[in-house]
Amino acid sequence: MLYNEGFSPPEIKEKLGLKLAVRTLQRWLKFWGISRTAGDAYRLAVSQGKVTYHYTPNKKKRKTINHKLRTFILERDQYTCVKCGNTKNEERIQIDHIDNNPSNDSINNLETLCEPCNKGKIRRRVLRGDSWVEEEPMFA
């Protein structure tokens, strides 16, 4: 019960005055199937000050394309993918930056792509044999 409340095996040994070794107590806990999940163990270590945690977002928030500009691009391309010709009724339509620079919202840099074509532009890492290889995009 003490283990599930967040006490470590050395603290349990000290609190209950047990004569057995800490490692033996750990083995017994494992034998009885008493364990913490990795998340619980990490949160406990953070709360005890054994590990420091600092949240850093991995992505910058992208600004959205202006609604009027988005509508203009879709109407210019007739709500059709410029690569394969899929319409908005066949696939989900997206606005794509040709040069992959999300801050460049010029009319010449934006085009209408369906979701498969837009995802096909991304370079993917593929395991070939024993090494990772960068796969070329499906579309140029």
Residue 114: exposed, middle, or buried by beta-carbon count in 10 A (0-12, 13-18, 19+)?
buried
Higher pLDDT, 109 or 130: 109
**pLDDT tier for residue 24 given thresholds of 50, 70 and 90:** confident
Per-residue pLDDT reduced to its tens digit, 88-119:
888 899 998 888 788 888 999 899 998 888 88
**pLDDT tier for residue 78 given thresholds of 50, 70 and 90:** very high
- How many helices (H) and strands (E) the chain has is answered by 5, 4
CA atoms within a 13 Å half-sphere pointing along the CA-CB vector of 11: 9
Rounded to an integer, the average pLDDT of 107-134 is: 77
d(C-alpha 35, C-alpha 72), whole Å? 58
What confidence score (pLDDT) does residue 77 get?
Answer: 93
DSSP 62-123: PPPPPHHHHHHHHHHTTTB-TTT--BTTTS-EEEEETTS-TT---GGGEEEEEHHHHHHTS-
Q: Are 79 and 87 in contact (CB under 8 A)?
A: yes
Higher pLDDT, 73 or 99: 73
Percent of the chain at pLDDT above 90?
16
Q: Is the pLDDT of residue 22 over 60?
A: yes
In the three-class reduction of DSSP (H, G, I as helix; E, B as strand; rest coil), residue 128 is classed as strand
d(C-alpha 26, C-alpha 13), whole Å? 10
d(C-alpha 27, C-alpha 78), whole Å? 68
